[in-house]
Structure 1
Amino acid sequence: MCIAHHNPSVQVTADHRIEIKQNEVPELKPGEVLIHPRVTGICGSDIHLWKHGQIGDLKVLDNLVLGHEAAGEIIGVGDEVKNVAIGDRVAIEPGIPCNACFLCRQGDYNLCQDVKFIGMYPHAGSMQRYLVHDARYVYKLPDNMTYAQGALVEPVSVGYHGVERANLILGHGVMIAGAGPIGLVTLLLVKAAGCTPIVITDLSEGRLAFAKKLVPDVITYKIDPKLSPQENGAQIRKIFGDTELEAPSRILECTGVETSIITCAYVVRRSGLLMIIGVGKDTFNNFPFMQLSFAEIDLKFSNRYHDTWPTVINMISNGIINVDDLVTHRFELEKADEAIALASDPRKGSIKVLIEDMQSKL
């Protein structure tokens, strides 16, 4: 099957340009499927790869097809594939682990150091008309789910993995730091988990207003950059109450920003848990070591996800969470450069920007 002649794709170059150009499609191997990605969400990492050319040690050394938040249609099936068939609508889990290392064997395949993650160099992502992927990491969508909802399974999975690791307690107060896309999906999940009260913080009044529209009973707090983390932390604590017992036992930090993490350390109650979901700098200079140590606050981290697709699909399909309102903009594949530019501009007020390709299949 030769379709290389018409496979438009969105590529970032090593010199930080976005190009829409044709991309070759590899031949199907046993165990693989050919997918027509119908919807791909733009992630902050896509923008980071464009503007900075790397995330940590992951560098863009040549043209790279972006995209990893995706859902699409199966249009080709390799030998030995039994879980899906041509015509199936699927959500795509973007990471393909080695399935051989001790991390994979113990179930923590999100930590596999040999993972092939689409949209990260050198593995082509989903912002193209045709994508070849390992059949073990695609999941059928129920008839009542849209492709857009299928694409949102990926960012929801990021929040879900952090929420799962945080061991939330029914009826306990929770603070969420950051009202970006991951903070907002985390808000939906925390609400579904029965935590109360829920406070979400951000620097942006617009994003806090969006959070309030998403979950009307959430309490918003606009971080005051003129105040120290300790002072902002004290103000947030007052929202929960005056006693140590009333302070939130769980904090979900979704920005990765140093000052935000420090603020969280002064909000979480003694013997509580601070879960860091956000991605930040390589090192911090002002880590509040003794604040966490004296209070025996557990500090945990979350990296991507594992075994979340079936659960998140069930939650969306069965109405436990409603992700539709997260989508603020939609663009055709051929206008993806405009979509990425918009998503990168905080003045535009976007939350989740989708790239859609509804062209008829091959």
Structure 2
Amino acid sequence: MAENYAAVLYGPNDLRVEKWPMPEINDYEVLVKMTSVGICGSDVKLYSSGRCGAVQVASPIVIGHEGAGYVVKVGQKVSSLKVGDRVAIEPTQPCRACEHCRLGRYNVCARPGYCSTPAAPGNLSRYYKHVADFCHKIPANLSMDEGAAVQPLAIAVHACRRAGVSLGHSVVVLGAGPVGVLCAMTARAMGATNILITDTVESRLDTAKEMGVDHALLVKPEEPDQDVVDRITLTLGAQPHVTIDACAFPSAQRVSLMVTGTGGTVLVVGIGEPMSQVPLTAALLREVDVRGSLRIANTYPAALAAVSSGAIDLKRFISHHMPLERAKEALELAKSGQAMKIIIHPHD
């Protein structure tokens, strides 16, 4: 009989790959043999500090929420999937009954069962169970690795929709990590014509340039905010219509409000500290809209279609591959900022 192993986080910097109970599915779930799981920035934050946003590790949890695999067992009332189907897992199990779920905004569900939180285990394991209707069939022309990488792309699609990115917009993305780069790629696919991305790590900017951004700007952590604003405006040729904060550092939050053009939009997709001091009044007096973006809502099908059609290329986005046994090493590499997207292979 097959055995299950998982990457289990016990506390800050304490990740152990160990034997884990085999999941038992109910009538509406499927059991998935995981083949590809991406490392996310939120995984790194959980690993490094034991917390990420409102999520805090109080007891051992399986991490990981960017997964794809083969269906090996289906519940009795599942008709949308069959054994052998390749699926990309949308890592949420909302209650479906609260006001937000009924309005289709299940990403802000009052009782979310999001993967890799105390409410639900993650999928960085050999076997994982999930509700069938949040498992999406992977198009035949996509690899399993691309299926796993669709999860951060779906986040980027949701962020760009929330930001109102449209044809002809100029867009600034602060932070060239995985989600930042995918936001830039998504903005391009949605019609943005002038895209600038910033980061403090040169190698990330090199990757962003390879993936089609118009301008890549290296900034220094100690650089004054106004200097960064001036350099962005000079390089872009104008203030941007949309600024996407994909890192949520205090300096990025300040710069985003200062650099965005009058009547424009600031979209925050990075997870920052609970309290921030920002130059809000000046931005509000220019009618700059400030919006948040949380996880994913109704964007998995669009993200899969974008990759399948060739509108967005995820192959170049994936930079490293490692087996499950090296999960801790993978997190340390992601923490260093020297990798773009690391894919773990639980059965390799």
TM-based fold match above 0.5: yes
Q: How far apart are the structure 2 equivalents of 1:351 and 1:306?
A: 24
- Please name the residue that 1:153 is paired with: 150
1:168-247 map, 5 Å = 168-215=165-212, 218-241=214-237, 246-247=238-239
Q: How far apart are the structure 1 equivalents of 2:68 and 2:35?
A: 6
Q: How far apart are the structure 2 equivalents of 1:66 and 1:81?
A: 26
Moved more, 53-62 or 182-191: 53-62
Instruction: Determine helix, strand or coil for the equivalent of 1:13.
Output: strand
Say which of 66, 69, 88 aligns to 1:69.
Answer: 66
Q: How far apart are the structure 1 equivalents of 2:12 and 2:45?
A: 13
RMSD across aligned positions (CA) = 1.5
Q: How far apart are the structure 1 equivalents of 2:46 and 2:72?
A: 29
Moved more, 6-15 or 247-256: 6-15
Instruction: Determine helix, strand or coil for the equivalent of 1:40.
Output: strand
Moved more, 9-18 or 291-300: 9-18
The answer to whether residue 133 in structure 2 is matched with residue 133 in structure 1 is no
Q: Are 2:12 and 2:48, in contact at CA under 8 Å, matched by a contact in 1?
A: no
Moved over 6 A (4+): none
- Please name the residue that 2:311 is paired with: 320
Deviation at 1:151, TM superposition (A): 0.4
Q: Relative to 1, partners in 2 of residues 1:15 and 1:315: Cα closer, same or farther, differing over 3 Å?
A: closer
Q: How far apart are the structure 2 equivalents of 1:145 and 1:101?
A: 35
Measured against aligned partners, the alpha-carbon deviations of 1:268-310 in whole angstroms (never above 9, x if no partner) come to 111111111111000012x112221221111111011111111
Q: Are 1:234 and 1:266, in contact at CA under 8 Å, matched by a contact in 2?
A: no
- Please name the residue that 1:356 is paired with: 345
Deviation at 1:226, TM superposition (A): 4.2
Counterpart residue identity of residue 199, structure 2: D
Counterpart residue identity of residue 18, structure 1: L
Q: How far apart are the structure 2 equivalents of 1:15 and 1:174?
A: 35
Q: How far apart are the structure 2 equivalents of 1:65 and 1:134?
A: 17
Q: How far apart are the structure 1 equivalents of 2:53 and 2:125?
A: 25
Counterpart residue identity of residue 26, structure 1: P
Measured against aligned partners, the alpha-carbon deviations of 1:100-133 in whole angstroms (never above 9, x if no partner) come to 0000001110000211112112422111111111
Deviation at 1:16, TM superposition (A): 4.1
Deviation at 1:318, TM superposition (A): 0.7
Instruction: Determine helix, strand or coil for the equivalent of 1:312.
Output: helix
Deviation at 1:252, TM superposition (A): 1.2
1:33-112 map, 5 Å = 33-112=30-109
Instruction: Determine helix, strand or coil for the equivalent of 2:7.
Output: strand
Q: Relative to 1, partners in 2 of residues 1:227 and 1:63: Cα closer, same or farther, differing over 3 Å?
A: closer
Deviation at 1:249, TM superposition (A): 1.1
- Please name the residue that 1:265 is paired with: 257
Say which of 158, 162, 165 aligns to 2:159.
Answer: 162
Q: How far apart are the structure 2 equivalents of 1:296 and 1:145?
A: 42
Q: How far apart are the structure 1 equivalents of 2:146 and 2:268?
A: 25
Q: Relative to 1, partners in 2 of residues 1:105 and 1:257: Cα closer, same or farther, differing over 3 Å?
A: same
Instruction: Determine helix, strand or coil for the equivalent of 2:169.
Output: coil
Say which of 309, 313, 318 aligns to 2:300.
Answer: 309
Moved more, 192-201 or 158-167: 192-201
The answer to whether residue 269 in structure 2 is matched with residue 277 in structure 1 is yes
TM-score of the aligned structures, taking structure 2 as reference length: 0.96
Q: Are 1:211 and 1:218, in contact at CA under 8 Å, matched by a contact in 2?
A: no
Deviation at 1:172, TM superposition (A): 2.2
Matched length: 348
Q: Relative to 1, partners in 2 of residues 1:124 and 1:227: Cα closer, same or farther, differing over 3 Å?
A: closer
Q: How far apart are the structure 2 equivalents of 1:350 and 1:107?
A: 34
Measured against aligned partners, the alpha-carbon deviations of 1:151-192 in whole angstroms (never above 9, x if no partner) come to 011100111101011111311211111100011111111111
Counterpart residue identity of residue 98, structure 2: C
- Please name the residue that 2:21 is paired with: 24
Q: Are 2:52 and 2:271, in contact at CA under 8 Å, matched by a contact in 1?
A: no
Q: Are 1:41 and 1:70, in contact at CA under 8 Å, matched by a contact in 2?
A: yes
Of all paired residues, the percent bearing the same amino acid is 31
- Please name the residue that 2:324 is paired with: 333
Instruction: Determine helix, strand or coil for the equivalent of 1:280.
Output: coil
Q: How far apart are the structure 2 equivalents of 1:150 and 1:65?
A: 20
